[in-house]
Amino acid sequence: MKRKHQVTVVGGGVVGLAVAWRAQARGHEVTLVDPRPARGASWVAGGMLAPVTEAWPGEEEVLTLGEESLRRWPQFAEDLGGCGLSEKGTLVAALDSADLGVLDQLAAYLHSAGREAEKLTSRQLKRREPGLAGSLRGGLAVPGDLSVDNRALLDALRKPLDPIREEVVELGPETVRTTGRTLRGDLVVLAAGAWSARLHPALEHAVRPLKGEILRLRARRTTLGPPAHTVRAYAEGRPIYLVPRAGGELVLGATQYEAGFDEVVTARGVRELLEGAERVFPAIAEYELAETAAGLRAASVDNLPFIGRLPDGVFAATGHHRNGLLMAPITADAVLAALDGTPPPPGVAAADPARLREKESV
Ligand code: GLY
């Protein structure tokens, strides 16, 4: 039988919760610390599990890691009771000819990388999703990119856990000091998202907050229902997405700004999102605007997360950039592998924080 460990997880967003849940299920003794668990960027998120439509030339390791994690998602969601996992797939639409140029570039890259993405004319797009605007220039169908109800997921993940709701003051490889106590164990996992840089000097210049605003809207009795697929679009150079939820809700995201730790929803953010969305899916203009929210993605220097040991032995599980939900299952598996003393899952080696030291030494 494998040895059981005492694990302290710092951060109760989707990554920290997934790590804690999986480690606890494996029989490890887990303590989770977060003053506001299951909130932050994970609560705000659109819920896309989209390695292919998030892919970009030069970021092959992000794509590989995301796909490895996506493979784990159906079982992960099933173990948590489903969490609204949608396998309807994703459509990507272009508003004008410059946007179509961006889509063509993405399609060419995906084809060269052997990924599935079918080009669609404007008419084909509308046939698949009748509520889309007739004026769209064309699009792509990406059947493999999925979505999940992030809030149902967070609820399910935190159910078996009883977090300590205190601020972390200091941490080391075996000790976490909070505002109220000192916790000791065999492994400390740092999963504090955008705040990770403040908690560990090795991440000081490696992880930063990247603000994102989203809107939640609700179809009304008199309006067309939300699209069946996740719809992503380039609207005059601005990427947006519409992620349907059960019960007529639609998540519209997301802005992306370097704004430090600012979590205020701005009028400009709301305007940008609505303007773009209305031109892609006109019925949205009559939807109820149910919620506005902002969160801080944990951006990393190279858009790859940091999954692995920092120089002092703290295990980093942070810096997931736009892919926290997507990469939660593989990050949890990487922590389990470290606890078992086995090699990390495929794709994770590229996310080893050792790359920070390698960059420093060249
Ligand atoms: N994953 C989408 C976003 O970060 O907005």
Domains for the chain: give ranges and CATH numbers. 6-46+151-206+301-361 (3.50.50.60), 90-143+209-300 (3.30.9.10)
When computed from its CA atoms, the radius of gyration of the chain, rounded to whole angstroms, is 20
pLDDT at position 217, please?
A: 98
Q: Which of 14, 42, 48 to mutate to test the pocket of ligand 1 (most atoms within 8 A of CB)?
A: 48
Question: Atom 1, ligand 1: which residue's CA is nearest?
Answer: 322
Query: Judging by DSSP bridges, how do beta strands 168-171 and 175-178 pair with one another?
Result: antiparallel
CA dihedral sign, ordered 191, 49, 46, 83: negative
Give residue for tokens 């004026």.
135
Q: Name the CA dihedral angle for 283, 284, 289, 293, rounded to a multiple of 10 degrees.
A: 170
Closest residue (by CA) to atom 2 of ligand 1?
322
Question: Longest C-alpha distance within the chain, in Å?
Answer: 62
What's residue 357's pLDDT? 83
Closest ligand 1 atom to residue 322 Cα is: 4
Q: Which of 145, 243, 297 best tests ligand 1's pocket when mutated (most atoms within 8 Å of CB)?
A: 297
Residues above pLDDT 90, as percent of the chain: 95
Tokens 């390791």 sit on residue: 61
* Centroid of ligand 1 to alpha carbon of 211 (angstroms): 10
| Burial of 126 (C-beta count, 10 Å sphere; 0-12/13-18/19+) | middle
Is residue 354 packed enough to be buried (19+ CB in 10 Å), middle (13-18) or exposed (0-12)? middle
Which residue, judged by its Cα, is nearest atom 3 of ligand 1? 322
State in Å: Cα 325 to ligand 1 middle: 9
> What per-residue confidence (pLDDT) applies to 282?
98
Q: What angle do CA 312, 33, 14 make, to 5 degrees?
A: 95
Residues with CB under 6 A from ligand 1: 46, 48, 212, 253-254, 297, 322
Q: Which residues contact 75 (CB under 8 A, 6 or more apart)?
A: none
Report the C-alpha gap between 237 and 244 in whole angstroms: 23
Pairing of strands 249-253, 238-244: antiparallel
Dihedral pair phi/psi, residue 107, rounded to 5°? -65, -45
Q: Which residue has the tokens 């949608």?
A: 86
* CA 45 to ligand 1 centroid distance, Å: 7
Q: Are 161 and 17 in contact (CB under 8 A)?
A: yes
For residue 7, the model assigns a pLDDT of 98
Bridge-partner residues for 298, per DSSP?
209
Instruction: Kindly give the distance from the C-alpha atom of residue 246 to the centroid of ligand 1, in angstroms, as a whole number.
Output: 20
**Using an 8 Å Cβ cutoff, are 331 and 305 in contact?**
yes
pLDDT, residue 360, reads: 64
Residue 202, CA distances (Å) to 89, 269, 306 in order: 38, 33, 11
For 12, 38, 144, the CA distances from 162, given in Å and listed in that order, are: 11, 12, 35
Taking the centre of ligand 1 as the mean of its atom positions, its distance from the CA of residue 172, in whole angstroms, is 30
Q: Is 123 helix (H, G, I), strand (E, B) or coil?
A: helix
Which atom of ligand 1 is nearest the CA belonging to 254? 5
Pairwise CA distance, residues 274 & 306, whole Å: 34
Helix axes 150-158, 14-25, angle to 10 degrees: 40
> Given this model, what pLDDT does residue 1 score?
54
Residues of the chain with pLDDT under 70: 1, 359-362
Mutate to test the pocket of ligand 1, among 241, 255, 303 (most ligand atoms within 8 A of CB): 241
Ligand 1, atom nearest to 48 Cα: 1
CA dihedral 88, 46, 37, 11 (to 10 degrees): 90
**Ligand 1, atom nearest to 297 Cα:** 4
**What is the token pair recorded at 23?**
């480690």
The CA distance from 113 to 286, in Å, is 40
Rounded to the nearest angstrom, the distance between the alpha carbon of 312 and the centre of ligand 1 is: 31
Q: Report the atom number in ligand 1 closest to the C-alpha of 324.
A: 1
Gap between the Cα atoms of 275 and 179, Å rounded: 44
Per the CB < 8 A criterion, the answer to whether 255 and 272 are in contact is: yes
